[in-house]
Amino acid sequence: MAAGGFVDCHCHMTAEEFIQDTEEILERSRKEGIQALVSVTESTGEFERLIQLSESYPNYLMPCFGIHPIQKKSDGYHSVTIKDLEPALSQFDKYKDHLVAIGEIGLDFTPWLTPSPKDREEQLKVFQLQLDIAKRLDLPVNVHSRSAGRQTIAFLKEQGVEKVLLHNFAGRPSAALEGVKAGYFFSFPPAVTKNNQREKLIRQIPLENICLETDSPALGPDKEERNVPSNIHIPCEYIAGVKGLSPEAVRQATTHNALRLFAKIRHKLNR
């Protein structure tokens, strides 16, 4: 199994913030020791661009398709609906051989974004339909769970989903440990260093269940600056400090974990 560098398990290389210098960012990522980038989508409009990028960087940029629970529209942000998912449905099958996971999908029960029970019900439907796709295609899921950590883990277990990455998890340790029991993985971005509550969470989650991510261009070390994949060393060093380990031990363990979860990445890197 290849384990010579970092795996960024959750980033957004098709984000608007990267359009001007995508190639420079990816080349720098390689030089900084990242051996694979797992790039997720939030809406159907990103799908074609992501496939093109992955073909330009084969066996390096690993694509995931997903419809995020919060959708950006011309008049602001809205909770996802089935209509947002419908244009994506045919694309999952069309590009299934390219995909390493389904994501970014999940639940976001932030009160001002999902004010009504109807919004939450619709989110659950969209989430379930994408979980069904993941199970049918035998792919892991890359999951968002803001203000819904416990509900997300309970729903994943109820749906019988086994291969799960809970990205930037911010729920209670007791909820996380339910995910650990189910064999789920948890990833943390550079912004974790700014949040004291995460220390307790990271201390309680076994290293065998932890992966690294940047969520770039968001959740970097500085809110005012664009985050980039080469910041992956920041959560690695932070987790090492919390667990009393060397950064190298954390890098090796998290890469091993990522390659266990994302089987298609492991196969691509071993070619």
Q: What is the pLDDT of residues 185-230, one digit of tens each?
A: 999 999 999 888 899 999 999 999 999 999 999 999 998 899 999 9
For the 6-18+29-269 domain, the top CATH level (class) is alpha beta
User: Which residue ranges make up each domain of the chain?
Assistant: 6-18+29-269
**pLDDT above 70 (res 2):** no
Provide the b/e sequence for 193-210 (b: ≥16 CB within 10 Å): beeeebeebbeebebebb
Q: N- to C-terminal Cα distance for the chain?
A: 10
pLDDT recorded at residue 194? 87
Q: How far apart are the C-alpha atoms of 143 and 126, rounded to whole Å?
A: 13
For residue 271, name the pLDDT band (cuts at 50, 70, 90). low
Q: How far apart are the C-alpha atoms of 204 and 94, rounded to whole Å?
A: 40
CA atoms within 13 A on the CB side of 224: 0
Q: What is the pLDDT averaged over residues 170-184?
A: 97
pTM of the model: 0.96
Q: How far apart are the C-alpha atoms of 171 and 195, rounded to whole Å?
A: 13
Q: How far apart are the C-alpha atoms of 107 and 143, rounded to whole Å?
A: 8
